[in-house]
């Protein structure tokens, strides 16, 4: 990458200096220069990247059996769910798929909904300000099985039996990796609350270490039996003369309306959960048209307001008319400007995003209007962090009028004037480490592409450790209900009620250039997701990083938006910087009103594919943040 070490300056006759312009100098000095910890992946036939090495190997196996990128992505989804890689089978799945035949990006919405009886009044009657972080009352209806089955049936090539084979072998027993095993041990007090979970995860009861040891075979016989039922339903359909797609949907029916549904609901209700058979039967996967905005000559696609995806498009709209390159990568001015852009975009997320299938209707046209971005950009204070940033009024840039102006006038993330207290709804005491864990909660990422042109970007989540296991199904239940609010004034579009999806953080991304795949990218990590994906995208587009450099680059995290988990608290001005940040940048940011913290790795576990359309090859980046791994051929 470009560095300043070969830049030459000369003294002029009038006593000045000649050389690069100040803007270029700032860029050269501030540009990162490092050797990546992982090599870039290269392939021309296929590529598979996800959160665990064994799961990436599952995707590679499916490619070698003749599957396409959708088949491989589904196999990786099944494997990561079986490995409890911050998700399990009862969680939620969302995906972007590039269809080479139709030459378009397709969205998959497989996020569960709040079950019967889950209302704001119900949780208040239980003494809760919002749905809990863990336990059966945190669980929406399972979405991952439905998402996997619909993607596979509609866009895959292989049978369900073939695609589930790696996960089923793992369910019989696989050598568990340290990260997950240690999470079980760390959370064993919570796990003991639910007998079915303790039976599965705490395999050495009464010993000093009750969780499996790293490398120990972790066996899940109940989950294996459930997956075998899905395969049996497919085989029965094929034996009856059904085509491939219909036979796979037989497995879908068995999960959501058959004996698996009955077992899941019985397991949930036995623990105090609210799920009913009707909740599972009424739920469905939606195949959607994703939202898109153009950044210069690149079309960027995200899922709509049932996740936080549009916030990155809003941020790109705000950034497009600012010369970020001239500021220099990770200069104080660059960090400050992006932080302010995030403030504006995430404030809108926190007030306007929710389930588009349930009224009220989100103002997405206004939110993604370039003219709205022009108006919001004028609010950026170039010299100091603005803790008072509020949501805007996107209704001024689309049809209709804003029905929530009263709520908007009172909305705040910052302390009341003259007070050291946060707003009343945020005044609960908060453990800083717990808050950061919540901020990063959930999600793995899956990236797959093949030579036929299929591209898949997935960010599945839900049912992470400590997961509640639903009876004898072996299925870990979701924890996504905590992303709802119970106070309408805080976000009238995301109030918990039966049949509604919580606004989730999960946010796969895809970009096309000249109508062809350019980037496919996603990341694990709750509220940091669209923050680091924005910086990843700019790193490649504005600063010339290759894809591996961009997934490992030292980004920053803002905490000024509301946490989507637990307490929903915001921490205006708090920023996480990389330990590489120079002293002069640290000093300047403090002067600009920031409270920095530091870590050695701040990229987040980004996984991505960059497409060389001229040569017809793939370049893959697998994060060095966690245990992410890729295989290409």
Closest to 85 in 3D by CA, of 530, 572, 516, 459: 459
- CA torsion 239→242→244→247, rounded to 10°? -80
Assess contact for 88 and 220: CB atoms under 8 A.
no
Q: What is the pLDDT of residue 380?
A: 98
Assess contact for 350 and 394: CB atoms under 8 A.
no
What is the rounded CA–CA span in Å between residue 90 and residue 146?
10
Token code pair at residue 228: 């075998």
What confidence tens digit (pLDDT) does each residue in 189-217 have? Answer: 999 999 999 999 999 999 999 999 999 99
Closest to 630 in 3D by CA, of 59, 237, 101: 59
Angle at alpha carbon of residue 143, lines to 449 and 132, rounded to 5°: 125
Q: What are phi and psi of 544, to 5 degrees?
A: 70, 20
CA distances from 581 to 169, 377, 594, 601 (A): 45, 26, 14, 11
User: Which helix or strand (DSSP H or E) is residue 295 part of?
Assistant: strand 291-295
For the domain spanning 308-443+522-632, the CATH number is 1.10.246.130
Q: Residue 444: which pLDDT band, with cuts at 50, 70 and 90?
A: confident
What confidence tens digit (pLDDT) does each residue in 124-183 have? Answer: 999 998 999 999 999 999 999 999 999 999 999 999 999 999 999 999 999 999 989 999
Assess contact for 591 and 572: CB atoms under 8 A.
no
14-18, 113-117, 377-381, 453-457: the lowest-pLDDT one: 14-18
- Residue 22 pLDDT exceeds 90: no
Closest to 452 in 3D by CA, of 136, 155, 27, 16: 155
Instruction: Report the percentage of the chain scoring pLDDT > 90.
Output: 87
Angle at alpha carbon of residue 69, lines to 66 and 74, rounded to 5°: 95
- Residue 543 pLDDT exceeds 50: yes
Q: What is the pLDDT of residue 20?
A: 41
Q: What is the pLDDT of residue 14?
A: 41
Q: What is the pLDDT of residue 35?
A: 82
Token code pair at residue 565: 């988990």
What confidence tens digit (pLDDT) does each residue in 481-531 have? Answer: 999 999 999 999 999 999 999 999 999 999 999 999 999 999 998 899 999
Q: Is the pTM of this model over 0.95?
A: no
Q: What is the pLDDT of residue 433?
A: 60
254-263, 315-324, 559-568: the lowest-pLDDT one: 559-568
Closest to 520 in 3D by CA, of 466, 461, 447: 447
Catalogue the E-assigned strands of 56-138: 93-99, 104-110
- Residue 368 pLDDT exceeds 60: yes
Helices (H), 320-392: 324-327, 332-352, 364-367, 370-377
- Residue 419 pLDDT exceeds 90: no
Closest to 561 in 3D by CA, of 413, 415, 394: 413
Burial of 419 (0-12, 13-18, 19+ CB in 10 A): exposed
Token code pair at residue 548: 């591996």
User: Which helix or strand (DSSP H or E) is residue 160 part of?
Assistant: helix 160-172
Q: What is the average pLDDT value for the chain, to the nearest integer?
A: 91
Domain boundary assignment for the chain: 308-443+522-632
Angle at alpha carbon of residue 598, lines to 594 and 602, rounded to 5°: 105
Assess contact for 553 and 429: CB atoms under 8 A.
no
32-36, 169-173, 261-265, 347-351: the lowest-pLDDT one: 32-36
Token code pair at residue 314: 């809003």
- Residue 427 pLDDT exceeds 50: no
Token code pair at residue 103: 């030459």
- Residue 5 pLDDT exceeds 70: no
What is the rounded CA–CA span in Å between residue 143 and residue 145?
6
């Amino acid at each position: 990458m470009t560095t300043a070490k070969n830049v030459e300056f000369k003294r002029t006759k009038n006593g000045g200096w000649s050389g690069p312009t100040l803007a270029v100098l700032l860029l050269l000095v501030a540009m990162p220069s490092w050797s990546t910890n992982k090599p870039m992946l290269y392939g021309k036939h296929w590529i598979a990247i996800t959160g665990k090495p064994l799961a990436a190997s599952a995707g590679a196996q499916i490619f070698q059996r003749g599957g396409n990128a959708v088949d491989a992505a589904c196999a990786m989804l099944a494997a990561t769910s079986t490995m409890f890689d911050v998700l399990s089978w009862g969680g939620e799945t969302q995906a972007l798929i590039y269809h080479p035949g139709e030459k378009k990006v397709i969205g998959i919405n497989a996020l569960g909904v709040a079950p019967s009886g889950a209302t704001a009044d119900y949780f208040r009657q239980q003494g809760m300000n919002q749905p809990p972080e863990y336990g059966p009352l945190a669980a929406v209806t399972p979405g991952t099985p439905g998402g996997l089955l619909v993607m596979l049936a509609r866009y895959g090539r292989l049978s369900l039996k073939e695609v589930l084979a790696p996960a089923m072998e793992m369910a019989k027993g696989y050598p568990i990796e340290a990260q997950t095993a240690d999470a079980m041990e760390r959370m064993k007090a919570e796990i003991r609350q639910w007998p079915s979970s303790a039976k599965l995860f705490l395999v050495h009861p009464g010993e000093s270490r009750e969780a499996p040891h790293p490398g120990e075979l972790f066996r899940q016989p109940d989950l294996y039996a459930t997956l075998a039922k899905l395969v049996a339903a497919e085989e029965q359909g094929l034996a009856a003369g059904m085509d491939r797609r219909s036979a796979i949907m037989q497995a879908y029916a068995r999960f959501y309306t058959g004996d698996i549904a009955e077992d899941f609901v019985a397991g949930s209700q036995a623990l105090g959960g609210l799920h009913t058979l009707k909740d599972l039967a009424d739920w469905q996967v939606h195949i959607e048209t994703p939202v898109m905005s153009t950044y210069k000559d690149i079309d960027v696609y995200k899922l709509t307001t049932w996740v936080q995806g549009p916030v990155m498009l809003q941020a790109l709209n705000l950034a497009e008319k600012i010369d970020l390159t001239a500021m220099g990568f990770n200069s104080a001015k660059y960090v400050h400007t992006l932080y302010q852009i995030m403030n504006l975009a995430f404030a809108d997320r926190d007030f306007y995003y929710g389930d588009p299938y349930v009224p009220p209707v989100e103002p997405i046209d206004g939110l993604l209007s370039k003219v709205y971005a022009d108006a919001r950009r004028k609010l950026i204070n170039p010299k100091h962090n603005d803790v008072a940033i509020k949501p805007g009024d996107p209704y001024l840039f689309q049809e209709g009028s804003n029905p929530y102006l009263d709520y908007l006038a009172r909305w705040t993330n910052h302390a009341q004037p003259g007070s050291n207290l946060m707003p009343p709804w945020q005044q609960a005491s908060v453990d800083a480490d717990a808050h950061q864990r919540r901020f990063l909660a959930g999600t793995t990422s899956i990236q797959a592409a093949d030579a036929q042109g299929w591209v898949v970007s997935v960010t599945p989540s839900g049912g992470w450790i400590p997961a509640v296991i639903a009876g004898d199904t072996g299925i870990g239940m979701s924890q996504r209900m905590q992303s709802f609010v119970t106070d309408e004034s805080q976000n009238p579009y995301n109030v918990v009620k039966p049949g509604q999806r919580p606004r989730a953080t999960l946010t796969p991304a895809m970009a096309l250039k000249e109508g062809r795949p350019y980037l496919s990218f996603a990341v694990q990590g709750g509220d940091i997701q669209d923050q680091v994906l924005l910086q990843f995208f700019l790193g490649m587009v504005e600063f010339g990083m290759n894809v591996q450099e961009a997934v490992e680059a030292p980004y920053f995290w803002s905490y000024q938006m509301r946490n989507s988990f637990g307490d929903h608290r915001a921490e205006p001005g708090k920023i996480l910087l990389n330990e590489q940040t120079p002293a002069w940048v640290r000093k300047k940011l403090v002067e600009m009103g920031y409270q920095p913290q530091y870590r050695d790795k701040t990229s987040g576990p980004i996984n991505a594919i960059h497409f060389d359309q001229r040569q017809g090859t793939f370049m893959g980046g697998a994060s060095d943040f966690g245990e992410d791994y890729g295989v290409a051929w």
